[in-house]
Amino acid sequence: MDFINLIGRVFLNFLESMGRFLIFGSKTFYHCFTPPYYFRSIISQMIEIGFYSLPVVALTTLFAGLVIALQSYAGFTKFSAEGAVAMVVELSVTRELAPVMAGLMVAGRIGAAMAAELGTMRVTEQIDALYTLSTNPFKYLIAPRVWGAVLMMPLLVFIGDIIGIYGGYLVCVYKLGFNPSSYISNTWEYLQYMDIVSGMVKAAVFGLIISLMGCYNGYYSRGGAQGVGSAATNAVVTASILILITNYMLTELFFMK
Amino acid sequence: MSIPKIEMQHVYKSFGNKKVLEDFNLTVSKGDSLVIIGGSGSGKSVTIKSILGLLKPDKGSIKVDGREIVGIGSRELEEINSHSGMLFQGAALFDSLNVWQNVSFGLVQGKKVNLKEARLIAIDKLKDVGLSSEVAELYPDELSGGMKKRVGLARAIASNPELIFFDEPTTGLDPIMSDVINDLIKRCVDHLGATAITITHDMSSARKIANKIGMLYQGKIIWQGSVKDLDVSGNPYVEQFINGRAAGPISMEVRK
C-alpha cells in the first residue's frame, strides 16, 4: 500500500511541477512581448551571456574542430578519402558541435548563475520586494534574461562555427600537411547556407531552454543556501538534458526530409 | 462611516496540511498604527503577504481602500501596491544596486521619475532615516545590519505611501539600534500620516510603534485593543505572551 502511495505521490508531484512550469513559461512569453521593456537590463544580459561566454565557447569549439579533423583524417585515410576531411569538419562543426558545445557551456556558466542569482533573490525576499515596489519580476528579471540568451546564443554559435572550422584548418594544414588553399576551397564548396542557419536556430532554442530552466529553478527555489545550490544544479542538469534531446529533434526536422 | 484602510473577512490560508489562517478577520482604520503580535509560525507574515497580494488566500475577502484584491490582475495589484511600502525583515535590498538606486527603485520603475530627481529624493529620504549622503553610493554588502534596516525604511517611505508594512523591524538588532529604528518608524509614519501594520514579537517595539495591538494565535486575531489596554487585557493568551512566560495556555510545539 505504501508503495502505491509513493507512486501516486511522485506522479502528483510530477504533474504539479509540469503545471507550474507551463504557467511559468506562458507568463514568461507574455511578459517578453508586452511593455514595459527593460532595455538596459536586456543589454546587460546580452553582454553577460554573449561577451563573457565568448572565451569558453571559443575554446571548446576550437578543440572540437581540432579533434574532429584528427579523427576524420584517421578514419578517411583507410579509404584514401582525405579530401572529405574539410567537409566533415564543416558539417560537424556548423550543424552539431558548435551549437551543442556552446549550449552546454552556456548552460553551465549562465544557467547556473541565473538560478543562483534568482534563488538568492527569492530566499532573501528581494523578489517579494520587487512586487511591493510595483515591479513585476517577470518583466524586470526574467524577460531580459530570456531575450539576452535567445539573441546572443546564435551569435556565439556563429563565432564558434568560424573558430571550429579554423581549428580543423590548423590541424589539417600545420599537422597533416594539407594544402591551405585547397582545404579552404573544399570547405567553401561544401558549405551550405542551411548548415549555418540550422546551427543558429538550434542555438536560439538552446538559449531559450537555458534561460527558462535557470530562471524557473531560481524563481521557485526554497530554503536557504541548500535550496539555492539545488536550484543551480537542477538548472544545469535539466537544461543540458533538454539541449541534447532538442538537438536530436531539430536535426531530424532540418535534415531528414 | 468611512471605508476602512484594510478589511480582511473570513480569510483562510493553508500550506499543505498546515492551516495558517483560519476564518481570519481584521479591520484597520485609516491612520492607525496596528501591531500584530504572535509567536513564530503563527501566520503574521502570511497576513501581510496576503494583503500585499504576494500570497493568494484559499478563501475569503481582502479589501484595501474598499477595493477587493483577491483574484485581481497583476496590473491592478501593481497600481494598489504603488500606494504602499514595506520594510522586510532582512531589509531585502537589491545587491546589484547601490543605496540610492535601492531607495529610489519604486520611483524610477513604478512612477517613472528621472534618475537625477530620483537620486535627490533618495538622498533626502536617507537623511530622514539619519543616514548621510555619503552612504548613497555604497552597496548593500558594505552596510551594517542597522544601516540596512534604515535604507530599507527609506525605500519603504520613498514614494510617500499611504500604507506601510513593517516585518519584524527590530529582529537581529541590538537594543539601542532597535530603539533608534522604532523611533524612526514612529516619526516617519506620523510625518506621512500613513496607516501602518507592523508584525513583531518584540514587545518594547510593539508598545512604542503601535496605537493598536492585535494578538494572532492559531490563525485568528484572538484579542485586539489599544496599547494602554494591553496590560489589562484579561486575556490569558495575551498575558502569557507579553510577559514571556513558558507556563500558560499557549504551548510551544516541541518534538520529544
DSSP B191-231: HHT-EEEEEES-HHHHHHH-SEEEEEETTEEEEEEEGGGGG
pLDDT tens string A168-210:
999 999 999 999 999 999 999 999 999 999 999 999 999 999 9
Q: Residue A34: left (phi > 0), alpha (psi -120 to 50), or beta?
A: beta
**In chain A, which stretches have pLDDT less than 70?**
257
Identify whether the C-beta of residue A62 lies closer than 8 Å to the C-beta of residue A25: no
For B:170-189, CB contacts with A below 8 A are: none
- What is the structure's pLDDT at B256? 47
Residues of A in contact with B49 (CB under 8 A): 128
Q: What is the ipTM of this complex?
A: 0.89
**Per-position DSSP letters for B168-187, written without gaps between them:** STTTTS-HHHHHHHHHHHHH
Mean of pLDDT values over B244-248:
84
In a domain, A1, yes or no: no
Q: What is the pLDDT of residue B17?
A: 87
Across the interface, which of A120, A121, A135 has its CB nearest the CB of B110?
A135
Q: What is the pLDDT of residue A141?
A: 96
Report the gap between the CA of A127 and the closest CA in chain B (Å): 8
Question: Cβ separation of A132 and B78 shorter than 8 Å?
Answer: no
Rounded mean pLDDT, B63-91: 91
pLDDT at B1: 62
Contact of B142 with chain A, judged by CB distance below 8 Å, is answered with no
Predicted local distance difference test score (pLDDT) of residue B253: 60
Q: CB B53 to CB A131 under 8 A?
A: yes
Chain B: closest CA distance from residue A152 (Å): 22
Whether B79 contacts chain A with CB within 8 A? yes
What pLDDT shows up at residue B42? 86
Q: Does A5 touch chain B (CB under 8 A)?
A: no
**Burial (Cβ within 10 Å: 0-12, 13-18, ≥19) of residue A139:** buried
Contact B54 A124 (CB under 8 A): no
Shortest Cα distance, chain A CAs vs residue B104, angstroms = 10
Identify whether the C-beta of residue B117 lies closer than 8 Å to the C-beta of residue A175: no
Q: pLDDT tier at B74 (50, 70, 90 boundaries)?
A: confident
* A184 and A169 Cβ atoms separated by less than 8 Å: yes
pLDDT in tens, A51-60: 999 999 999 9
Provide the domain count of chain A. 1
**Among the partner residues A124, A128, A135, nearest to B109 by beta-carbon distance:** A135
pLDDT, greater one: B226 or A1: B226
Question: Which pLDDT score, from 0 to 100, does residue B112 have?
Answer: 86
Q: Is A12 on the interface with B (CB under 8 A)?
A: no
- Quote the CA–CA distance of A136 and A210 in Å, as a whole number: 21
Contacts of B172 in chain A (CB under 8 A): none
Measure the CA–CA gap between A222 and A233, rounded to whole angstroms.
14
Residue A2 resides in a domain = no
Look at A125 and B90 and tell me if their CB atoms are within 8 Å: yes
Test the A interface: residue of B45, B51, B94, B149 with most A CBs within 10 Å: B94
Q: Enumerate the residues of chain A whose CB falls inside 8 A of the CB of residue B94.
A: 121, 126, 129
What is the rounded distance in angstroms from the CA atom of residue B141 to the CA atom of residue A120?
14
b/e code B180-214 from CB counts within 10 Å (16+ = b): bbbebbbebbeebebbbbbbbbbbebbbbbbebbb
Mutate to test the interface with B, among A12, A120, A132, A219 (most CBs of B within 10 A): A132
Map out the domains of chain B with their CATH numbers. Answer: 1-81+196-249 (3.40.50.300)
Tell me the pLDDT band of B254, cut-offs 50, 70 and 90.
low
Q: Does A23 map to a domain?
A: yes
Which residues of chain B make contact with A136, given a CB cutoff of 8 A? 74, 78
pLDDT at B134: 92
Provide, as residue numbers in chain A, all residues whose Cβ is less than 8 Å from the Cβ of B92: 124-126, 128-129
With a cut of 80, say whether residue B124 has pLDDT above it: yes
Mean pLDDT of the B106-128 span: 92
Report yes or no: A37 at the B interface, CB cutoff 8 Å. Answer: no
Is the torsion defined by CA of B226, B181, B205, B161 positive or negative? positive
Largest Cα–Cα distance of chain A, in whole Å?
72
| Band (B192; pLDDT cuts 50, 70, 90) | confident
B95 in contact with chain A, both atoms CB, cutoff 8 A: yes
- Domain span at residue A51 reads 10-255
Q: Is residue A4 one of the residues assigned to a domain?
A: no
Task: Judge: A129–B86 Cβ closer than 8 Å, yes or no.
Answer: yes
The verdict on A140 touching B (C-beta cutoff 8 Å) is: yes
